[in-house]
Amino acid sequence: MASRRAADELIASGGVRVNGKTPPPEGVLIDPDSDRITVHGKPVKPVTKHRYIVLNKPLGVITTARDEASRTTVLDVVGDEGKSGHRLFPVGRLDADTSGLLLLTDDGDLAYRLTHPAYKVSKEYIALVAGNPSSGDIDSLRTGVELDDGLTAPAEVDVLRITPGSRDSGVSEIRIVIREGRHRQVRRMLHFIGHKVQSLNRVGFGPLKLGRLKAGGWRVLARRRWPPFNARLKLENPNDRRDRWGRRVGQIGCG
């Protein structure tokens, strides 16, 4: 219905009522099944059906819902057909120079659990790097390397392909799986061991796989595919339902 900021302004203006009363400034928890919410006198119904889209983000596309510099965003790629009337947003982010799997949804509960560090959701990448890493380099990535923002957690690392040559010639294709979400983490990890990333593609995010989806292509995920994933992330816990900003679902308030 509105962005978080617009919704907060709407509540502060007095346009929102809970069972006919103005909610207090500190907010109030509601039960969508029994409480009546109105905006300027009109009833508001909670979203009952979410939409999930897997996108193969092309290079150069910005991971945001709107870009002030008018650059192409991930929502531009899927267009109105992909959005299908839903207020979609990207779950997590991929830099402009990184391609691959990105989930778009309007399910804030799922997005919170996919991106919160406590859930340690895996993110799988295929990197093409300059040179041939040594076995010691690979072991360092597997155990953790010291970046400027701290030691990285152990990662799954496999060398998929190398070209003949010395450590500093040729190229290598490396699979790396991390369970953190630091800024440009994979690139910085590989730079730490002395190998510049030539290309980086995300091929997995939790149980989701990119498969044969072409760059710029997208597919809608059917709800029936989600139960095992929901169970793994404890999505059915009624005492910890949160929106995309980490606020408990059902809380009406400002700030």
Residues labelled as active-site residues? 95
Instruction: Please give the angle made by the CA atoms of 186, 191 and 194, to the nearest 5 degrees.
Output: 140
* Residue 112, C-beta contacts closer than 8 angstroms, at least 6 positions apart: 242, 243, 244, 246
Q: Amino acid identity, residue 179?
A: R
Q: Is the distance from CB of 216 to CB of 100 less than 8 angstroms?
A: no
Largest Cα–Cα distance of the chain, in whole Å? 74
Helix (H, G, I), strand (E, B) or coil at 74: helix
* 37 phi, psi to nearest 5 deg: -110, 130
Strands (E), 44-114: 52-57, 89-91, 99-105
Q: Give strand pairing partners of 252.
A: 28
* Residue 222, C-beta contacts closer than 8 angstroms, at least 6 positions apart: none
- Coarse DSSP helix, strand, coil percentages of the chain, rounded to the nearest 5 percent: 20, 30, 50
In 5-22, which positions are buried (b, 16+ CB within 10 angstroms) versus exposed (e)?
Answer: eeeeebbeeeebbbeeee
